[in-house]
Amino acid sequence: MTAISEAEKAAALEHVKQAEAAVWTIPDVPADTALRPIAKATIVGAGTMGGGIAMSFANAGIPVKLVDLDQASLERGLGRIRGNYANTVAKGKLTQEAMDQRMALLSPTTDIEAVADADIVIEAVFERMDIKLDIFRKLDRLAKPGAILATNTSMLDINTIAAETGRPQDVVGTHFFSPANVMRLLEIVRGDKTEKDVLATTLSVARRIGKIPVVVGVCDGFVGNRMIEPYFREAEFLVAEGASPADVDRALTDFGLAMGPFAMSDMAGVDVRWDVAKRRAGLRPAGERYSWLVGYLGEAGRFGQKTGAGFYRYEAGNRTPIPDPAVDAFIAQEAERQGVKRRAVSAEEIVNRCMYALVNEGADILEEGIVARSSDIDVIYVAGYGFPASRGGPMYWADQVGLKKVNADIQKLAQDFGGHWKPSPLLARLAAEGRSFADFRRE
């Protein structure tokens, strides 16, 4: 694992600074695009995400209605918001007067017709397409003309949701990150018919509520979650081949990440990844290598911190991951059953394979035009996924390694481990031309 000098850190931090400044510019949206007025917001769904989004608006002084059709859920959500503010007051980071002012901006209701006077409506219900489509049919009927209709989804197709309305031009994705009142990143998902003034206005709203927005296109998982899947997959392959979950997490936190993939999975909920794995199982090409570890944990009810056990185990009231011999024993047993010869795995191999998995998928995303520039991917990973700013983001990191080396290493991985390691066509082309991701501009 290569250490970085102070000069390299400074250059990486400057790159991140410039990349964050660039996200506010959308190549085909003029800077002087007229904005839609946003004075009132409504959030549909009072769960953890909906409550956090509502707090973001209240923190910015924007009146916000919080809608949930279930009174008990609404009260729980409001209690969670009040508790979050009270904790901040207790820490001396917010005055009681400021808390009272923010709470006064929140109007809880079980009446969906409350969306009628909102300038922007953000749906933040459970991540299921049928539920979201039902909500958007109601929003289409009730929201005033010109209101922005946003969906907080981490991977569902925005175009399918927009098509359920008679105003697809007003529909946009707003993928907040949890906790939404704390995390800076916001993926703004542009549908095929999203109007330019909707994008410009949503960017303006993001600025008002203190977010760093990145405009992305429609694909499964958008940018952050689409890239994280091969990263998780490679981490699990490394575990099958001989590393432990703690080995992998340690190597990547030593590299600079805020959290390793297994601790991250436990925090977010292993059940979330299990649901994705089940949804995609039928799409997997025959014979393609896949990880069986998430399925084992899911079947065992080991959903992570929420159940006290996932890749690690947890003691009551303590979120510190503790290596679990039961998981290690299962991995060894299943590897033997599947004929995987286990071996010592170095920290350098762990870092390279996990980083290359991110970079290779990022190259496909860049070539597909899902983002405007490679630095947008870097912003997403630094602001939303704990990638070290001192290394500039995954695409910047790859440029510093050199794309010829990255491409050659991935070709070697393809020889050693199979076709899922095929280099991205864009990566191969840029490497052959002696260019970098930063040089690339999609025609």
Q: For 195-214, write each residue's pLDDT tens digit.
A: 999 999 999 999 999 999 99
Length of the chain: 443
- Known active-site residue 175: yes
When the pLDDT of each residue in the chain is averaged and rounded to a whole number, the result is: 95
379: closest CA among 263, 214, 171, 218?
Answer: 214
User: Which residues does 246 contact at the CB level (< 8 Å), separation at least 6?
Assistant: 262, 312, 321, 323
Distance CA 129, CA 138 (A): 14
Task: List the alpha helices (DSSP H) in 196-323.
Answer: 196-208, 224-241, 245-255, 261-268, 270-280, 293-299
Checking if the pLDDT of 151 tops 60, the result is yes
Segment 180-206 shows an average pLDDT of 98
**80-115 as b/e: b if 16+ CB within 10 A:** bbeebbeebbeeeebeeeebeebeebbebbeebebb
236: closest CA among 269, 265, 275?
Answer: 265
**21-58 as b/e: b if 16+ CB within 10 A:** eebbebeebeeebeebebebbbbbbbeebbbbbbbbbb
Beta bridge partners of 304: 309
| Residue whose token pair is 């359920």 | 164
E-assigned strands of 60-134? 64-67, 106-109, 120-123
Q: Return the domain boundaries, the chain.
A: 1-22+223-443, 33-216
> Omega before 179 cis (within 30°)?
yes
Distance CA 398, CA 410 (A): 12
At 330-361, the pLDDT tens digits run: 999 888 888 889 999 999 999 999 999 999 99
155: closest CA among 276, 242, 313?
Answer: 276
The sheet with strand 185-189 has its strands ordered as 106-109, 64-67, 41-44, 120-123, 148-151, 171-176, 185-189, 212-216
Structure letter (DSSP) for residue 37: P
Checking if the pLDDT of 2 tops 80, the result is no
pLDDT for position 3? 83
| pLDDT-wise least confident of 287-291, 306-310, 378-382 | 287-291
User: Which residues does 164 contact at the CB level (< 8 Å), separation at least 6?
Assistant: 133, 136, 137, 140
pLDDT for position 141? 98
At 293-304, the pLDDT tens digits run: 888 899 999 999
pLDDT for position 17? 98
pLDDT for position 1? 55
Q: Is 394 buried (19+), middle (13-18) or exposed (0-12) by CB count in 10 A?
A: buried
| Residue whose token pair is 């014979």 | 287
Neighbour tally for 59: CB within 10 Å:
17
pTM of the model: 0.95
Checking if the pLDDT of 136 tops 70, the result is yes
User: Which residues does 344 contact at the CB level (< 8 Å), separation at least 6?
Assistant: 242
Helix axes 245-255, 261-268, angle to 10 degrees: 100
3-state DSSP assignment of residue 165: coil
At 26-81, the pLDDT tens digits run: 999 999 999 999 999 999 999 999 999 999 999 999 999 999 999 999 999 999 99
User: Which residues does 347 contact at the CB level (< 8 Å), separation at least 6?
Assistant: 1, 247, 250, 251, 254
Classified by CATH at the fold level, domain 33-216 comes out as: Rossmann fold (3.40.50)
Q: What percent of the chain has pLDDT over 90?
A: 87
Distance CA 400, CA 406 (A): 10
CA atoms 235, 237, 239, 241: torsion sign: negative
Segment 117-135 shows an average pLDDT of 96
| Residue whose token pair is 């199982």 | 281
Q: Under a CB-based contact definition with an 8 Å cutoff, are residues 274 and 298 in contact? A: yes
CATH 1.10.1040.50 fits 1-22+223-443, yes or no: yes
At 384-435, the pLDDT tens digits run: 999 999 999 999 999 999 999 999 999 999 999 887 898 999 999 999 999 9
Distance CA 409, CA 428 (A): 11
Checking if the pLDDT of 442 tops 90, the result is no
Q: Under a CB-based contact definition with an 8 Å cutoff, are residues 289 and 237 in contact? A: yes
Checking if the pLDDT of 270 tops 60, the result is yes
| Residue whose token pair is 């949503």 | 202
Beta bridge partners of 171: 149
- Of the listed 102, 132, 175, 273, which one is catalytic? 175
